[in-house]
Structure 1
Amino acid sequence: MPTLDNKHLDEQSQGLARAFGLIALVFGIGVVGYAIMGGRDATFVDAVYMTMITLTTVGYGEIIDLGTGGRLFTMALLVVGVGSFVYFFSNLTAFIVEGNLDRILWRRKMRRSINAIDKHFIICGAGPTARHMLLELEATERPFLLVADDEVAARSMLEELEIDCPVVIGDATDDAVLERAGIHRARGLCAAEAGDKDNLLITVTAHMLHSSLRIVAHCTDLRVAQKLRRAGADAVVSPNMIGGLRLVSELIRPDAVSFLDTMLRDKDKRLRVEEVPMVEGAKALGRSIGELRRDDLEGVLIVAVRDAQADSWTFHPHDDLRLEAGSSVVFMGGPEARRLAEQTWG
């Protein structure tokens, strides 16, 4: 794929527009000139016809009595017109060969996809961390889009992962870019750039634009974690810490880790630990766990309930436990089971 640069694309687009404008100007001069030389006997169509056969060098014959002045005008128009067409087609060829036409069509497709998406997750960054996030969102069939400042890297990564999702090209720290990504319609945002400073600024910007949006931030230096939380991040994840815990788990509980890996990598069942929050208006609000179990939702296994007020967990909850506002039901299931649980309980 050719290297794509916004400034270069704008320059080529402007050059193409100038070339087209030059042809239109020359054509207009030709029509006016022939209309004047033809006098009352020449119609507008006659003037257009003479201009067309001159500029295209077809030369079917004169239908307007030109005289010496008219022939001089025709020769000048022919020289300028041919030069204009050469200039236009050279710009058009460069525009197509360098992949800019494909790029414009791709961006139009992205704009349509972005306008249609709703209740989605926004991933900011196209680095190694973002790759795994996109794969997980794709596997669990959730709507999402990618925000990246490097179009080549973003498109190459999506092609390699075989993922078709909307992409917003731009700096995620820019208000306008996040608004183009539909931040006011989004369910959540993850700041997954490589630098902690970038993620801090993304978090601040996203929180200012949508204060109730759930924001998760990538953090390499744990000293920055508190700043990210104060800036508006609901959760901060350190890949180094997660990686260290995973390495230890492989040492001391290999079978448990193997079970989790099998669950995550099974492309058929795609089992995950999911949740249904008991927000205002939730269908399961006030019901007991026993009633939820009697719903007998296929593929759903309730494993825990979170009490938001006490900030505590009840594992393997009893049937008589009733769900209160702010709590969450945590269960295991695949994408179909999750949708069924959200429709029945949410």
Structure 2
Amino acid sequence: MRTPRSRLTRRLLIVGIAFAIILVAGTVGYILLEDWSLFDAAYMTFITVSTVGFGEVLPLSRGGRLFTIVLIVTGVGAAAYAFGSLTDYIVTGELQGTISARRLRGRMDKLSNHYIVCGYGRVGQQVVQELVNSNAPVVVIDRVLERLPEQNATNLLPLHGDASDDDVLRLGGIERARGLVAATDNDADNVFIVLSARSLNRDLVIVARGLGADAEPKLRKAGANHVVLPNAIGGRRMAGMLLHPSVVDFLDVVMHSEDLELWLEDIAIATGGALAGLTVGSAQVRTATGATILAIKTSGGKLLTAVSADYILQPGDIMVALGTRQQLQALENLAG
């Protein structure tokens, strides 16, 4: 994708070559037509192309005057093309870019509880697609301008820059963001991104991509809450398809299908909510909402996959629940 600056450079290069050809052709033309010296021919060509209005260097024949007319027309045409290219750059390039940047910054200043995706390669594109499909507001940061997606009118904002730069992250609203994904194809870059993001927002949920197995401890030390190793996950998934195909198909449909009636959601128990302080048995979640609690992640970070009926629900606990959209919404209302 050509930028306005690259298009201007290309056009001005064409104009420069055209002027050089005109000057050489004019000089040679006067030498051949009028038998002038090299200096007189070059001087006449310069003052003719520049249209400064000086008189003829030496008397011209009829052929010489016709040649001068052609020289003036071509010179003025080249100058007009150069002026038009410059005007086009100012109007549609810099000015439009400034307006777009201000609009983009205005939209980013209003963002809160959004997600930031750093790196728009194959993994980053898939992450963004899933978030956009869930109607989540997303800021995409990439240092390669041509790789960024188009700005979305609702919930997708592209930002050109280095995601490990604090100023770029601040422009993306890092202090107000809900989560960040470091998805570049370089472990060192992801570590720096995680370090910068964690220093700017201590409560941010950070998910980092790791290419090598040794990247996980480094990313966690840098501040990542979760580390995803695509190669390891891909291998486990392929093995699961061989060993437990029905289970994998079910989980894939539940997590990613938009047409299925049942959904998996994580729902937090709020302080003062109706469920806070109740046991799982006395809460009777399934009777009240129709949703089923599959697991609970305690406020201390422990994941309970076999939840006892005697377990007391605490504020900050996160329930992993299965149900329809309506059932899950009812459970969220009950929890909050």
**Is the structural similarity TM-score above 0.5?**
yes
Partner of 2:313: 323
Deviations for 1:16-45, whole angstroms, at most 9, x for unmatched residues?
Answer: xxxxxxxxxxxxxxxxxxxxxxxxxxxxxx
- Whole-Å separation in 1 of the counterparts to 2:321 and 2:308: 11
Q: 1:268 to 1:107 in 2, by over 3 A?
A: farther
- The equivalent position to 1:232 in structure 2, one of 223, 239, 244, is 223
Kept in 2, the 8 Å contact 1:305–1:317? The answer is no
- Whole-Å separation in 2 of the counterparts to 1:91 and 1:270: 57
Amino acid at match of 1:135: Q
- The equivalent position to 2:190 in structure 1, one of 199, 203, 212, is 199
- The equivalent position to 2:259 in structure 1, one of 254, 268, 279, is 268
Scaled by the length of structure 1, the TM-score of the pair is: 0.66
Amino acid at match of 2:3: L
- Whole-Å separation in 1 of the counterparts to 2:121 and 2:326: 30
- Whole-Å separation in 1 of the counterparts to 2:287 and 2:174: 35
Amino acid at match of 2:126: H
Residue 238 of structure 1, CA deviation: 0.4
Deviations for 1:143-168, whole angstroms, at most 9, x for unmatched residues?
Answer: 32211222321126x78xx9951122
Residue 194 of structure 1, CA deviation: 0.7
Deviations for 1:252-311, whole angstroms, at most 9, x for unmatched residues?
Answer: 01111122233344323475422123354555321333425167336x332122234482
Partner of 2:117: 123
Residue 203 of structure 1, CA deviation: 0.5
Kept in 1, the 8 Å contact 2:274–2:335? The answer is yes
When the two chains are superposed, the root-mean-square deviation of aligned CA atoms in Å is 3.4
Partner of 2:208, secondary structure, is strand
Query: What percent identity do the matched residue pairs reach?
Result: 29
**Which runs of 5 or more residues in structure 1 are unaligned?**
13-83
Kept in 2, the 8 Å contact 1:264–1:271? The answer is no
Deviations for 1:42-87, whole angstroms, at most 9, x for unmatched residues?
Answer: xxxxxxxxxxxxxxxxxxxxxxxxxxxxxxxxxxxxxxxxxx9987
Amino acid at match of 2:132: E
- The equivalent position to 1:342 in structure 2, one of 308, 332, 335, is 332
Where do 1:26-175 residues align within 5 Å? Answer: 89-95=84-90, 103-155=97-149, 165-175=156-166
Residue 226 of structure 1, CA deviation: 0.8
Kept in 1, the 8 Å contact 2:112–2:177? The answer is yes
Partner of 1:166, secondary structure, is strand
- Whole-Å separation in 1 of the counterparts to 2:268 and 2:256: 26
**Which runs of 5 or more residues in structure 2 are unaligned?**
10-78
Scaled by the length of structure 2, the TM-score of the pair is: 0.68
- Whole-Å separation in 2 of the counterparts to 1:270 and 1:209: 39
Residue 109 of structure 1, CA deviation: 3.7
- The equivalent position to 1:182 in structure 2, one of 168, 173, 186, is 173
Q: 1:294 to 1:243 in 2, by over 3 A?
A: closer
Residue 106 of structure 1, CA deviation: 4.0
Partner of 2:2: 3
Q: 1:336 to 1:193 in 2, by over 3 A?
A: farther
Kept in 2, the 8 Å contact 1:175–1:205? The answer is yes
Query: Are 1:296 and 2:295 an aligned pair?
Result: no
Amino acid at match of 1:211: R
- The equivalent position to 2:201 in structure 1, one of 193, 210, 215, is 210
- Whole-Å separation in 1 of the counterparts to 2:257 and 2:184: 28
Partner of 2:188, secondary structure, is helix
Residue 182 of structure 1, CA deviation: 0.7
Q: 1:292 to 1:146 in 2, by over 3 A?
A: farther
- Whole-Å separation in 2 of the counterparts to 1:192 and 1:122: 10
Kept in 2, the 8 Å contact 1:304–1:317? The answer is no
Q: 1:247 to 1:101 in 2, by over 3 A?
A: farther
Amino acid at match of 1:165: L
Amino acid at match of 1:4: T
Amino acid at match of 1:345: A
Residue 111 of structure 1, CA deviation: 2.2
